[in-house]
């Protein structure tokens, strides 16, 4: 079948690489794609929210399935547009409609959903411009730090963890009264701070069944030792040793199953991925957030571990026949190191030529492109903040990290930066828990 993949990051390069391996894929198109996705299909210049152009393209090119990478087109109703048009309603879509995408598009919606269906999460209240005073007295009663969340999508910047009540009050006012995050902060969720180790759990849902995919841990801060500002993600590891069978059983019973049932109760026909950000607090899982897509860079660590046919999984999601899908996993460990432009997540320069991309025989490392482009002479140049993701594979985490960093050290451009400590916390955890 012909497939259109939407997006242009490391997640989409990984999807394209995996989709192209399947005999079920005839022609792969990527809108808009990047310099890396070109190797697996045809990049087409359509913006991720230009639904009309996308629909015309699908009709003209006999596309049978659309796989949506990022959240923005989902929150803006890509599925709903396709289904409302006789020309495109037969096309399978991997990604929820507008109603399901509210799980990520509105923190207030997702918190209400969790409360209604008894899904463990941090205690919270939601406030608006009209209830600023109530919000301030609520903040004053909270233990420190206080967590503030803009209700809507804010390009990953809408969560503030405030170390003092004074800071929380002033940020809270600036979100509601000065539109710090634009329309996204017209409502603000104030919530309890959860402490523990974070984990990303991925679920594929087809409306009637679901499959839990391999979990991952990501590294959000820019600096080694989890210091400095948050980024889109600086690395990932999969599997995560503390997510043992016992813990995953709790995740399945307390979180995934009630989430699935809740969607059904709400009459939301959810066909797509859910990425659940969890906190392991003393051995118990709590939901930090839902995302209605796969994570990035987590996808770059997770997808290489899926051995069974990936297009069958996507087709199962889109057509509602996941029941027969047998998920098979590779037994290696994946570790992804993200290489970023100097200055990121602040200001950074683009257009730097990248050297060392040609594989020099390290077959246990995969190079995924994110912010890359080709210049006029066909050379790969940097074209974003997160530029490349390098996924190493190994029989254990140390070996996977060695494979990744060996490859990272062969690649260069002016100003390149990356974290040197991906996976070190897990290696430490393994050392202290090995004899338990
Ligand atoms: P988000 O932008 O929604 O991905 O959130 C960014 C990060 O903020 C999460 O990955 C967590 O590290 C942190 N975070 C969000 N909510 C909480 C919470 N209630 N307690 C502790 N950390 C949180
Ligand atoms: N790595 C976090 C995300 O994709 O949102």
Tens digits of per-residue pLDDT, 142-200? 999 999 999 998 877 889 999 999 999 999 999 999 989 989 989 999 999 999 989 99
- Mean pLDDT, range 202-215, rounded to an integer: 97
CA angle 261, 264, 267 (to 5 degrees): 155
Beta bridge partners of 128: 187
Q: Is the CB of 295 under 6 A from ligand 2?
A: yes
HEC string of the chain equals CEEEEEECCHHHHHHHHHHHCCCCCCEEEEEECCCCHHHCCEECCCCCCCHHHHHHHHHHCCEEEEEECCCHHHHCCHHHHHHCCCCCCCCEEECCCHHHHHHHHCHHHHHHHHHHCCCCECCEEEEEHHHHHHHHHHHHHCCCCEEEEECCCCCCCCEEEECCHHHHHHHHHHHHHCCCCHHHHCEEEEECCCCCEEEEEEEEEECCCEEECCCEEECCEEECCCEEEECCCCEEEECCCCCCHHHHHHHHHHHHHHHHHHHHHCCCCCEEEEEEEEEEECCEEEEEEEECCCCCCHHHHHHHHECCCHHHHHHHHHHCCHHHCCCCECCCEEEEEEEECCCCCCCCCCCCECECCCCCCCCCEEEEECCEEECCCCCEEECCCEEEEEEEEECCHHHHHHHHHHHHCCCECCCCECCCCCCHHHHHHHHHHCCC
- The size of the chain, in residues, is 436
Return the number of other C-beta atoms located less than 10 Å from residue 367's C-beta. 23
- Residue 300 Cα to ligand 2 midpoint, Å, equals 11
pLDDT tens-digit map of 38-59: 999 999 999 999 999 999 999 9
User: Residue of the nearest CA to atom 14 in ligand 1?
Assistant: 288
Distance of alpha carbon 176 from alpha carbon 275, whole angstroms: 28
- Structure confidence at residue 37 (pLDDT): 96
Ligand 2 centroid, distance to 253 Cα (angstroms): 24
Task: Judge residue 125's burial from the number of C-beta atoms within 10 Å of its C-beta, 0-12 exposed, 13-18 middle, 19 or more buried.
Answer: middle
- Cβ of 296 closer than 6 Å to ligand 2, yes or no, is yes
CA atoms of 340 and 222, how far apart (whole Å): 9
Which ligand 2 atom minimizes the distance to the CA of 233?
Answer: 1
- Residues in contact with ligand 1 by the CB-under-6-Å rule are 122, 147, 156, 159, 191, 193-194, 198, 220, 277, 288-289
Pocket test for ligand 2, best of 218, 222, 299 (most atoms within 8 A of CB): 218
- Asked whether 298 lines ligand 2 (CB < 6 A), one says yes
The neighbour count for residue 105, using CB atoms within 10 Å, is: 22
Check residue 362 and give its pLDDT: 67
In the prediction, which pLDDT does 300 show? 98
Residues 131 and 177 sit within 8 Å (Cβ to Cβ): no
Please tell me the predicted confidence (pLDDT) of residue 155.
Answer: 78
Q: If you classify domain 2-95 with CATH, what class do you get?
A: alpha beta
Looking at the DSSP assignment, which residues form a beta bridge with residue 306?
329
- Gyration radius of the chain over CA positions: 21
Displacement of CA 259 from its chain's centroid (Å): 18
Pocket test of ligand 1: the residue of 155, 159, 175, 218 to mutate, having most ligand atoms within 8 Å of its CB, is 159
pLDDT digits (tens, 9 = 90+) for 318-377: 999 999 999 999 999 999 999 999 999 999 999 999 999 987 666 799 999 999 999 999
pLDDT band at 436 (very low <50, low <70, confident <90, very high): low
- How far apart are the CA of 382 and the centre of ligand 1, in A? 29
Confidence of residue 131 (pLDDT cuts 50, 70, 90): very high
pLDDT at 426 over 90: yes
Mean pLDDT for the stretch of residues 314-318: 98
Determine the distance separating the centroid of ligand 2 and the alpha carbon of 96, expressed in angstroms: 17
Angle between helices 424-433 and 397-408 (to 10 degrees): 160
70 lines ligand 2 (CB under 6 A): no
Give the ligand with the smallest distance to the CA of 153.
1
The answer to pTM > 0.85 is yes
Q: Does domain 192-331 have CATH number 3.40.80.10?
A: no
Ligand 2: residue whose CA is nearest its atom 4: 295
Ligand number, closest to the Cα atom of 275: 2
| Atom 2 of ligand 1, residue of closest alpha carbon | 156
- Phi and psi dihedrals of 178, rounded to 5? -115, 15
Domain limits, the chain: 2-95, 124-191, 192-331, 333-423
Query: What's the gap in Å between 299 CA and the centre of ligand 2?
Result: 9
CA torsion sign for 28, 20, 354, 387 is: positive
Residue 4 has pLDDT above 80, yes or no: yes
Residue 284 burial (CB count, 10 A): 14
Contact 359, 407 (CB under 8 A): no
CATH code for residues 333-423: 3.90.600.10
CA 195 to chain centre: 21
Structure confidence at residue 367 (pLDDT): 96
Q: Regarding the domain with residue range 124-191, which homologous superfamily does it belong to in the CATH classification?
A: ATP-grasp fold, A domain (3.30.1490.20)
Ligand 2: residue whose CA is nearest its atom 5 = 295
Residue 291, ligand 2, Cβ within 6 A: yes
Residue 262 has pLDDT above 80, yes or no: yes
Task: Give residue 432's pLDDT.
Answer: 87
Q: What percent of the chain has pLDDT over 90?
A: 93
When pLDDT is cut at 50, 70 and 90, the band that residue 230 belongs to is: confident
Give the tens place of pLDDT for each residue, 98-118.
999 999 999 999 999 999 999
Query: What mean pLDDT do residues 254-279 have?
Result: 97
Tell me the average pLDDT of the chain.
Answer: 95
Q: 152-166, 242-256, 273-287 — which is least confidently predicted?
A: 152-166
């Amino acid at each position: 079948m012909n497939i259109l993949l939407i997006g242009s990051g490391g997640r989409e390069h990984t999807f394209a690489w995996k989709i192209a391996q399947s005999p079920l894929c005839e022609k792969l198109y990527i809108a808009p794609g990047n310099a890396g996705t070109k190797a697996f299909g045809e990049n087409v210049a359509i913006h991720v929210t230009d639904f009309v152009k996308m629909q015309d393209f699908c009709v003209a090119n006999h596309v049978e399935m659309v796989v949506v990478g990022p959240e923005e087109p989902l929150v803006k109703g890509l599925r709903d547009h396709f289904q409302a048009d006789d020309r495109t309603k037969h096309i399978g879509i991997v990604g929820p409609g507008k109603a399901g995408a509210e799980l990520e598009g509105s923190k207030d919606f997702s918190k209400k959903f969790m409360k209604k269906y008894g899904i463990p999460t941090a205690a919270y209240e939601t406030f608006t411009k009209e209830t600023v005073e109530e919000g301030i007295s609520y903040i004053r009663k909270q233990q420190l730090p206080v967590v503030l969340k803009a209700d809507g999508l804010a390009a990953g910047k809408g969560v503030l963890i405030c170390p003092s009540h004074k800071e929380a009050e002033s940020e809270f006012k600036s979100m509601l009264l000065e539109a710090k995050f634009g329309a996204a902060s017209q409502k603000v969720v104030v919530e309890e701070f959860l402490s523990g180790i974070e984990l990303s759990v991925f679920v594929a849902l087809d409306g009637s069944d679901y499959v839990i995919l391999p979990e991952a841990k990501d590294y959000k801060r820019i600096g080694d030792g989890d210091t400095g500002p948050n980024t889109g993600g600086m690395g990932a590891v999969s599997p995560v040793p503390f997510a043992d069978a016992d813990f995953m059983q709790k995740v399945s019973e307390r979180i995934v199953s009630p989430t699935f049932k809740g969607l059904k109760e709400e009459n939301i026909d959810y066909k797509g991925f859910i990425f659940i950000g969890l906190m392991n607090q003393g051995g118990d899982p709590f939901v930090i957030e839902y995302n209605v897509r796969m994570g990035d860079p987590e996808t770059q660590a997770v997808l290489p571990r899926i051995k069974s046919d990936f297009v069958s999984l996507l087709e199962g999601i889109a057509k509602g026949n996941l029941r027969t899908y047998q998920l098979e996993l590779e037994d290696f460990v994946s570790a992804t190191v993200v290489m970023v432009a100097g200055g990121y997540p602040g200001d950074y320069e683009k257009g730097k030529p990248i050297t060392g991309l040609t594989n020099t025989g390290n077959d246990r490392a995969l190079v995924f492109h994110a912010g890359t482009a080709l210049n006029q002479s066909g050379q790969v140049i940097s074209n974003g903040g997160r530029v490349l993701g390098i996924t190493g594979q190994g029989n254990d985490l140390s070996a996977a990290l060695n494979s990744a960093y060996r490859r990272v050290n062969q690649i260069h451009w002016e100003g390149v930066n990356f974290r040197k400590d991906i996976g070190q916390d897990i290696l430490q955890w393994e050392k202290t828990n090995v004899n338990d």
